Amino acid sequence: MRNFKTGLILKLSIALCLSLSTTMAFSHTFWLNVTNYFPEIYSAEYGARTTIYFGWGHRYPVDNFLSVGKLGEFSLITPKGESKLIQPGQGGFLATELSLPEKGTYIVAAALNPGFYTMYVEKGKIHHKSVPKTGLSGVILSNHFEQYAKALINVSGSDSSYSRPVGHALEIIPMANPAGLKAGDYLPVQVLFKGKPARFFPVNSTYAGFSTKDDFAFATTTNSKGMAQIRILHHGAWLIKSRIKLPAPDELKEKCNDMSYTATLSFEVK
């Protein structure tokens, strides 16, 4: 009888883990926050300044600390299209001050180091590890993930560089500059997956203050051209997120079951 109860509890635990996986490890979201999305140039010598820091978890705009070891790409794309590597700060949330000498729209781009996440059963217990499933038995699920984030900063005005792709595997591209929008407007975006329109992808968005949980204020889906319309329901800082999960290709089937890609875009509407 005890073995039956133990087996039943384990099965229920596995079912619960599977049902929660989309809101736990697989969707631990990565995004960028900016203290001032509209900094002004004070002088030719000092330019404009703002601070960018990392969001990681489920509660926008601030949740868990991100380890610097997880961070792969961190770069600044100038209004002229020049890409410059950024050294992340060593303080809380990897807060990093940026010096922005030119007028126009800057893009901050970041990416996590790709990795694996595997959930499996061993000796009657469920384990979670950041490893491929190779050599493990009792695998419940195994995932290879890539996460990308961008933020738009408009310095003493704006220009058309906001729509410049940065080349992420999954990328959200605004087709209008949010600096010119207000509450009630729509922001058109295009989602690209490996450089091509992401057809019928889910797109979720929210603004700071909407919820203290893993909720989104607006949800939609891209059309056949990868386009979607985001309703700007409120002024303030915004986050757009798109995520796709695909079966692992043949060359990775020994390591994982699925491929997960997540992209976020941060900006502010006055």
pTM over 0.85: yes
Partners of 194 in the beta sheet? none
**pLDDT value, residue 159:** 85
63 neighbors 27 (Cβ within 8 angstroms) = no
Each residue's pLDDT tens digit, 193-246:
999 999 999 999 999 999 988 899 999 999 999 999 999 999 999 999 999 999
108 neighbors 75 (Cβ within 8 angstroms) = yes
Mean pLDDT value of segment 108-118: 96
Sequence spans of domains, the chain:
10-269
| E strands in 202-235 | 202-207, 218-221, 227-231
The string over 98-109, giving b where at least 16 C-beta atoms fall within 10 Å of a residue's C-beta and e elsewhere, is bebebbbbbbbb
ω before 249 within 30° of 0 (cis)?
no
Which pLDDT band, with edges at 50, 70 and 90, does 27 fall under? Answer: low
- Distance from C-alpha of 82 to C-alpha of 52, rounded to nearest angstrom: 19
- State the residue for tokens 């190779």: 134
Q: How many angstroms separate the first and last alpha carbons of the chain? A: 63
- Distance from C-alpha of 116 to C-alpha of 26, rounded to nearest angstrom: 10
**pLDDT value, residue 6:** 44
CA 242 to chain centre: 8
